[in-house]
Amino acid sequence: MNLKEKDSKYIAHTYARFPIEIVSGKGSLVYDENGKEYIDLGAGIAVNIFGLVDDEWINAVNAQMHKLQHMSNLYYTEPCADLAEMLCKRTGMSKVFFSNSGAEANECAIKAARKYAADKKGKHFYTIITLKNSFHGRTLTTLAATGQEEYHNDFTPLTPGFVYADPDDIESVKTLVKENKVAAIMMEIVQGEGGVIPLKSDFVKGVAKLAEEEDILVIIDEVQTGNGRTGELYAYMNHGITPDIVSTAKGIGGGLPIGATMLGEKVADVYQPGTHGSTFGGNPICCAGAVNILRRIDDKLLQSVKEKSEYIFKELEGAPGVVKVNGMGLMIGIETAKDAGDVIYECMNRGVLVLKAHNNVRLLPALNIPFDQLKKAVAVIREVCAQ
């Protein structure tokens, strides 16, 4: 049985895989089973912030691996405390809960908001407002938070207590606040899986103001937008708001599974021993790698993200066959005249890996992708869109 047959026989068919096997990589270059080279503009869906087989990250992970690979959260370990301190100092948040994925980081955020509201206003204040077209994960609760019916259909009943506002429409949020006993409003600053659509700054600020007036918590899902992706450490920083809870995952781990839920002042002590937990959360190896990643997301890197973003917009906006370019930083969606799926396959044939979000071509390259590789890849996308 070859690999494709074995995969098809033994792995649940939840992914529509491309017909290539990725065997190895270095930085933003990856190689398939025939040794063909590709420039990778997907980075494992915003995970490999410093590309593949990154030496500094490997050294950090390796050093920790030789000390301690895992210990129960019943004991103190250093890497998770170091990582939490770095996150709090760089965001102004107060405390962090560690888990293993974006969905779990969001579960923790939702539980924290519900507990805060229950303690302060009463148990019936459990509703969470999220936005239509959002994506927050695949567990039954984060699916309920996801404002896209197509993801819900086969899995009802979902966790109750979620209602959906129209993005960029503050009146729609106000109406839901009036009609429900609301604990929190949760949103992505750029809707990633929903097609790479940034929220308008006025809307984000309007939600933050409304939440402050109504004593409702603001949860920002930074699973995809976080960790330098938009040119700021976290995307909410582009709008000058102070969220109560920030969830992140993907890029912070540099390729190892980790989720982090940052808790602001109001909710810092909402959790007490026994109210939440995770066996692997705060795993020393994942945290040691993440400390290395976070340390390297500095002003210089963030500036280069903005410059690369400007370059992509400049090259693709108004190019033949490109209808619209959307996004922020190195999180970019391209609406193409041709079917996005066809563009993606043709790019792959020509040695460039790109992703899809709804019917848009989506780019999420490593933040340190060398400029010459980025230029080559963007030229290929231009050519393919034009044909």
Q: Which residues bind ligand PLP (CB under 6 A)?
A: 101-103, 106, 135-137, 188, 192-193, 221, 223-224, 249
Give just the sign of the alpha carbon dihedral 44, 133, 290, 66: negative
Shortest separation between residue 153's beta carbon and ligand PLP, angstroms: 19
Amino acid symbol at 272: Q
List the strands of the sheet with 331-336, edge to edge.
322-328, 331-336, 360-363, 355-357
- Name which of 92, 91, 64 is nearest 80 in CA terms: 64
Shortest separation between residue 146's beta carbon and ligand PLP, angstroms: 8
Q: Where are the alpha helices (DSSP H) in the chain?
A: 3-10, 43-46, 55-65, 78-91, 102-121, 140-145, 149-152, 170-179, 201-214, 284-296, 299-316, 340-349, 371-386
Shortest separation between residue 259's beta carbon and ligand PLP, angstroms: 7
Query: Which tokens hold the place of 350?
Result: 């020509």
Q: Which is nearer to ligand PLP, 25 or 257 (CB)?
A: 257
**Positions of E strands within 49-161:** 95-99, 127-131
- d(Cα 136, Cα 143) in Å, to the nearest integer? 7
Cβ-closest position to ligand PLP = 102
Contacts of 277 (CB under 8 A, 6+ apart): 73
Shortest separation between residue 223's beta carbon and ligand PLP, angstroms: 4
- d(Cα 319, Cα 380) in Å, to the nearest integer? 12
Q: Which is nearer to ligand PLP, 28 or 99 (CB)?
A: 99
Shortest separation between residue 188's beta carbon and ligand PLP, angstroms: 5
Shortest separation between residue 338's beta carbon and ligand PLP, angstroms: 25
